[in-house]
């Protein structure tokens, strides 16, 4: 079973995304704070980190850089930015910070599942 770590300061977004992903057969872990996510990734070893962009204390795009520095390549999960921002802005942010991709929160469950499936396929193809 593939494991997904969702990092979002919004409890409703966490709950909705977690329910959807669990129903689709994924193992899901949740974090409401960005600080400490590097340690959580090392401990939990998720396949994907779904990372909210707009969080207090440490933004999602800043956290991508920290994960790239702290997590060895062979243990680094796929990181997808997750936000209500526009597709163009998310694409730009993902490219700038080195995230593996992005998905909009307003796109609905089907878009989220498609992004997760696509990211997992890309990760498998890269191995």
Beta bridge partners of 4: 28, 48
Query: What distance in Å separates the CA atoms of residue 76 and residue 95, rounded to the nearest whole number?
Result: 17
Alpha helices in 1-127 (DSSP H): 11-23, 37-44, 60-70, 87-97, 109-126
Which tokens belong to 90?
């998310």
Contact 63, 81 (CB under 8 A): no
Condensed to tens digits (0 to 9), the pLDDT of residues 65-106 reads 888 888 877 778 999 999 999 999 999 999 999 999 999 987
Higher pLDDT, 76 or 3: 3
* pLDDT on residue 7: 95
Give the chain's radius of gyration (CA, Å).
Answer: 13
* pLDDT on residue 44: 93
Residue 125 has pLDDT above 70, yes or no: no
Query: What distance in Å separates the CA atoms of residue 96 and residue 117, rounded to the nearest whole number?
Result: 23
All domains in the chain, ordered by first residue: 3-126 (3.40.50.2300)
Model-level pTM?
0.91
Condensed to tens digits (0 to 9), the pLDDT of residues 101-120 reads 999 987 778 999 999 999 88
* pLDDT on residue 67: 87
Q: ∠7-49-18 over CA atoms, to 5°?
A: 60
Query: What distance in Å separates the CA atoms of residue 83 and residue 28, rounded to the nearest whole number?
Result: 18
* pLDDT on residue 69: 85
* pLDDT on residue 65: 87
Binning pLDDT at 50, 70 and 90, where does residue 126 land? Answer: low
Site of tokens 């960005």: 34
Condensed to tens digits (0 to 9), the pLDDT of residues 19-52 reads 999 999 999 999 999 889 989 998 999 999 999 9
Residue 127 has pLDDT above 70, yes or no: no
């Amino acid at each position: 079973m593939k494991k997904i770590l969702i990092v979002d300061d919004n409890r409703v977004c966490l709950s909705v995304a977690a329910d959807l992903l669990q129903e689709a057969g994924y193992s899901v872990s949740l974090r409401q704070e960005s600080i400490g996510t590097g340690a959580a990734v090392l401990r939990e070893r998720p396949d994907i980190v779904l990372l909210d962009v707009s969080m207090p204390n440490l933004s999602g795009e800043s956290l991508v850089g920290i994960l790239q520095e702290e997590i060895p390549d062979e243990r680094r999960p796929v990181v997808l930015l997750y936000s209500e921002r526009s597709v163009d802005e998310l694409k730009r942010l993902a490219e700038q910070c080195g995230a593996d991709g992005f998905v909009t929160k307003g796109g609905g469950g089907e878009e989220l599942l498609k992004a997760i499936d696509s990211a997992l396929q890309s990760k498998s193809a890269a191995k």
